[in-house]
Structure 1
């Protein structure tokens, strides 16, 4: 097999295909194995070819078909559809009056995400697939269920049987979680890393890093669960701290789980050491928010001969620096921005840019806050009612510790900072534009956390032992990796679609199972696929058919 690029005459369109040479008689022909997509420019062509090479490598190393024939209804339906595609001209003679609907199953999630799950190598994270074949299948079903409808393990078992035609024993599910041991967790992280590095010809050199807290519906504590600063405002409940690393495209590179009382700034050294132990990393630029990259961390990164980009707290700078920042007359005109570079001690650079669009937004946000604040001041003059809200408190003046009024001087001072944003980096040669673009990419890790917390509902956690907690996070991480990789492929090969749209499209790829009252034959009636669904299937090299077929 090899990757082929075919150009279209008098058009910028270039088709990227995976083809194989085959001998037919005396001639050698090239058979298309997978149509990867169409590139409209050189940049798209590079990404498309990298993706094609990754898919080709997976196809070449694909394991032999399993010797175990599943007896699940969902597998019968999926296998039956593939066989039916080869027999589309064969007539099915049946008396429709003898047919009754037996069930309706969702096949889109397993047909698309299930194939991606296998391509990523997640079907092999629990060790020997022969001895643990059922455990591997169960983990895959749990990941599919979490992508389709995040819920507890108990509810996932109910959903799988009701919506997917897959019957699992709940106790067996809990026992399966114990197969996800330290060796499996290490293999999972390696598979996630390899899935990303296999996509790109260049080495990964920019890593976005952030942490979040995940709470439990309990106050119990152990080596992993503990009380600490909660980003979910669940200060009375135990929690764990999750650290996540992603690329500029939002593809997860790995994660680490820490005791809930751990300060997020203390996780960086361990996470980097963990990353280096299992990968060939040389030069990495870390991008994080100002809370994570503390002074101690910045010093350590510099001592380790690495680079960073961190948000600058402009208002906390020394007075001399703040004076330079506010001198907008000395800003330089860059590409679509005004910017300034200020030298800081220790060979660090403070890069500040000014955006009129951001200035308008800052002013608008402040006006909304002040409008709410004026109503509250009229309703209550008590200082105690404003102490806990910093957004209000920074515009207030408290006289004689009793009278609360809006401070016009503070408002004027705040106006000076409208539209300003800054980052600090230790890179001596990185252009300001590149530094700002890298920092903008931090939203990718924040989006991944949003997906993990909300779309995959990783919290609250109902498991009580550290091993089960680790297994739960691993299943959520596998789900996240599948979601992000499919989104990346769909964007590259079709058009940008949100994970929610993709999930909704695939959940509605269903089949009605009809049983004949006399012969007991079963027939599958597929739902009509939408254009989005057809394209998503095409991205994964699959076809989605609406032709009914006989289940055998």
Structure 2
């Protein structure tokens, strides 16, 4: 046996690529020209690599592609895939971003009966390695990846109610989240239509300007509101009547916003209450212990102390523990002791009273009058699908860090990650319907153990016979393939003897 290569996972990738219609679409968008290798095939290589083993274009060309049987499946020799051709493939693919998104919205709606009338919207960031001086969007900003030392860009992603990606846009890193909303809404509606849309997003988008714009333009929405707005509804929170249990440990109540007459969904969660109470207690204990030590140090001092450094120390203490800072009233008062001052600390009873009411509570704002409280709350909770999409792209598809320095290459890198996520989500829905859970990585790792080999048979009269064979799946793999409805080929044609690409699998 010779030429052993990974087969199972790279067989699944082109299957998904064709299944969601991307092979046919790319062949139409990237028709053959004067190039020797079709750009549609290079796009398939880029996305398959991101789906199976996320890595750089250099790694794809020099290592990954040569270890897989993708060359046999695509009828594209190892020597035809190099980093320069992959980079140019990125450039050709990026031009068709809008067409790709529009196609995927329609095609995946047909495959999985996905409805895109309720859209979930969220923003994340991803950072660069290098200075990215050729990219005007690369800026410093709030880093969700805890890498404030690196430049970054913001990615605004829209997914359906089921978490299927519908589209995205890239913004400069110093763009406030709220300033992206109107651009995203207008862009997505231009591509996918306007009628019946419901937009769901978190409190980072809940600026007065955005809410006014959504109302004035007749768009329906459910948006999380800043916690500071809870104070406007203190009476409703404190009242025992009107609450309805929508899930174990979660209660909601509807009210009207006093300024805009919007529907306000007041929510309180037992788990969230326990978490916030524990946080308040922990920060309060830290502040109390630090103030006790500070008071003792002041009392022991044998010389006159300057109040300014002490006040700065108190300020830093409260800043580090700001969740409980309002609980304490702290003052340095003149005193006849050697230090000249003494520390006076009192507890603010109003803080404890409000904490007892507001711990575990949050509110949502909406202008949807024909949904009940349970429907509104459950729709907003689906926003976790957008957060899960970001986790998959970062942890499984390695959208970060970005090594490209040019703006167009960065945009193309994110597009390839988006297309790989479409395939990832398609596999997830496929395996869910087959009763195989919701972990595509487990499927890929299991199938990756299936390999292809060249079996070389020497003969006395006809030289060597070379057969390119696929290993027989073990019982677990066979059961997995059966549930997915996949049939692996037993043999493949060797590229040098190949018929046209569609006949590559014998």
Above 0.5 in TM-score?
Answer: yes
Name the stretch that deviates more: 475-484 or 402-411: 402-411
Counterparts of 1:534 and 1:302, CA distance in 2: 53
CA contact (8 A) 2:157 2:169 kept: yes
Question: Which has the bigger relative contact order, CA under 8 A and spacing at least 6?
Answer: 2
Distance 1:334 1:153, change over 3 A: closer
Counterparts of 1:356 and 1:301, CA distance in 2: 32
Distance 1:333 1:490, change over 3 A: closer
For 1:229-378, list aligned pairs within 5 A: 229-319=142-232, 321-332=233-244, 337-344=250-257, 345-364=259-278
SS at match of 1:287: strand
How far residue 438 of structure 1 moved from its aligned partner, in angstroms, is 0.3
1:209 to 106, 121, 145: 121
User: Partner of 1:108 in structure 2?
Assistant: 8
2:53 to 127, 149, 173: 149
Specify every segment of 5 or more residues in structure 2 that has no aligned partner in the other structure, as ranges. Answer: 72-77, 296-312, 333-341, 498-506
Specify every segment of 5 or more residues in structure 1 that has no aligned partner in the other structure, as ranges. Answer: 1-100
Cα RMSD of the aligned pairs, angstroms, is 3.3
Counterparts of 2:214 and 2:57, CA distance in 1: 41
SS at match of 1:286: strand
Give a deviation string over 1:374-394, Cα, whole Å, max 9, x none.
787788894465455456554
SS at match of 1:521: strand
Larger Rg: 2
Distance 1:276 1:537, change over 3 A: farther
For 1:509-524, list aligned pairs within 5 A: 509-516=450-457, 519=464, 521-524=466-469
2:32 to 130, 133, 136: 130
Distance 1:335 1:171, change over 3 A: closer
User: Partner of 1:482 in structure 2?
Assistant: 423
For 1:528-539, list aligned pairs within 5 A: 528-529=473-474, 531=476, 534-535=479-480, 538-539=483-484
User: Partner of 2:338 in structure 1?
Assistant: none
User: Partner of 2:435 in structure 1?
Assistant: 494
Distance 1:517 1:424, change over 3 A: same
How far residue 275 of structure 1 moved from its aligned partner, in angstroms, is 1.5
Counterparts of 1:207 and 1:461, CA distance in 2: 27
CA contact (8 A) 1:513 1:523 kept: yes
Q: Identify the structure with the greater helix proportion.
A: 2
User: Partner of 2:486 in structure 1?
Assistant: 542
CA contact (8 A) 1:213 1:232 kept: yes
1:163 to 43, 67, 72: 67
How far residue 278 of structure 1 moved from its aligned partner, in angstroms, is 2.0
Counterparts of 2:45 and 2:445, CA distance in 1: 18
TM-score by length of 2: 0.78
Counterparts of 2:246 and 2:65, CA distance in 1: 58
Name the stretch that deviates more: 513-522 or 365-374: 365-374
How far residue 414 of structure 1 moved from its aligned partner, in angstroms, is 2.7
Counterparts of 2:418 and 2:82, CA distance in 1: 23
TM-score by length of 1: 0.72
Give a deviation string over 1:122-179, Cα, whole Å, max 9, x none.
2233723433653221221221211222222112223423431442212221222221
Counterparts of 2:478 and 2:181, CA distance in 1: 40
1:426 equivalenced with 2:367 (yes/no): yes
SS at match of 2:32: coil
